Structure 1
Amino acid sequence: MPPADNQLPPPDIPNAPLKAAGLLLVTLLAIVAFVLFVMQARGVFQPTQRLLLVAESAEGVAVGSTLTFSGFAIGRVVRIELGDDGKAHLHIEVPVADARWLRTSSVFTLERGVVGGASLRAFSGLLEDPPLPDGARRDVLSGDASAGIPQLVASIQQLVINLERLTAEQSTLSSTLENLQKFSGALNGRHGALNALLGSEKNARQVIEALERANALLTKADARLFGRDGLMDKAELSVGELAQLLGEARNALKKADAILGNVNEASSDLDMLRNEVEATLRRVTALTEQLNQKWPFARERELKLP
């Protein structure tokens, strides 16, 4: 169709193909720079070392999952494969700058939570140990929180069954509650706790009667012991008489002591008299000998005392 008379021709842009090519080139360079920046940020150009982790199962682990140390990502999973030993082989790349945290004594764990994916963690207790070499192979310790869920569900089911048994009509708990209700009814009865403990009102009445008889006997015993002209009064009189007898016996003993003292004095006087008699006899004997010496004509030298 021929152009209309009222339409203006398009403006003539000088070097339009060259400018379009330049704009396309700038856009392409911007895209390449962005990609390079992202790759640099993700550590594509950083030198890395390989690490092989062997786990029982790779469930929850995907390519791109991170390996963390103290909460910081120091590596990522680049490939997952099933090894000849039937275990999952996790190939991990660790930047050389971050590989200094991995030692020969490091421990690697694979933890699976109830919600979310699995997480790979590294623990290094002794940073003085030799560094982990490139291409090292280590076994992974697995910890699955969801593995205990079936056991937990089974325990809950068993608990529900036990609760149903406890709350059944013929259960021990039901019988215990029924007995407890009877016991509380007996407590609210005529004789209260005594009726509840003994089991029947008849037994409680017999115990009360026995207590009343015992109380009467105690009253009589109290009257006999502590009443007027009772055993205690008689005992007090007997004690008084005994004290009087003991006083009289004490006086008699004093008199006996006095008599014994007089006897001792008399014995002392007799000893003195005996000594004096013996002295007199000795003097008489001496005088007799003197007379015999002065009376030589006497034939009988023997002197007879009257």
Structure 2
Amino acid sequence: WLSRSFSLGLGRWKAIVIATALTSGLGGMLAIAGLAYLFDDVVIFDDEVVGWSSDRLPLAGVLVTVGVVLTVVGTLASVALMLRTVDGDERGGALGAEATAAWWAIRRGLAVMPRAIGWGLVLTLGFAAAVLVLVLVTVVVLPLGILLIVAAVPAFVFVAVRLAFTVQAIVDRPGNPFRRSFEVSRGRFWATFGRMLLLGLIVWLVSLVVQTVSGLLSGSGFQGFGQDGLVTEDDGTFVSMEMGETFATSPWALVVTVVSTVVVALFTGGVVGAGSAMLYRSRNAAEEPFA
């Protein structure tokens, strides 16, 4: 299973690179540009903020929103591409064929995005309701609340594994994605948990290496994100924060950001996506070929 995950995922590297560059990579650049524009010349002091202009909010908001949307579309597109690959679509073909597959995946991501937003809201509201109940019980009856919080930890892990394939289910077809995600780990919870943990460790290691290398290449990220622009006294007392310097970046840093995003996507969207797609398809056969 793991060997095939690498084979299927990295075998579509051309399509993944194209799809990621046009979605998540571009989206990240737009979001950074929006924040840099919004906070340009803004300086935060202890008792006031200088240089803030609400006139920048509309354009900055549009840039950040479009960036977030493109990132979400990129995630959905990579899932669609891996499902299609597991279903038997030829991989590792000519550049033109892989570009066509990438464009199909992006269109698929756009098509299912409303459905993803809807089910995402359902999941968010359910999680928020559970947290609210825990908080209320803890406030009213502290010992019982603490007991529930302790019990909630393994319960959260259990639910997370059962819901781990929700995105695949949403992209696959309409209907209740939670039920189809639950089906994947039914009767084999620990096997599924172990495989998802292994994939998670792979992503963590790859992300750690890529972030370290990209930080060195771009000068510690975005000018040492969160550090440049910070002015303190010798004893560490806060004086001011120049937000424009905090979000400042160079064209080279933006290029490094896009490249690092694509490299991480090869493993998250490719290897992890292929492994997850195989597990999902083992209990949820394709009803019909992707169009």
Please tell me the TM-score bracket, short chain as reference. under 0.3
Q: TM-score, normalised by structure 2?
A: 0.17
The structure with the largest helix share of the pair is 2
The structure with the largest strand share of the pair is 1
Instruction: Considering Cα pairs closer than 8 Å and 6+ residues apart, tell me whether 1 or 2 has the greater RCO.
Output: 2
Q: TM-score, normalised by structure 1?
A: 0.16
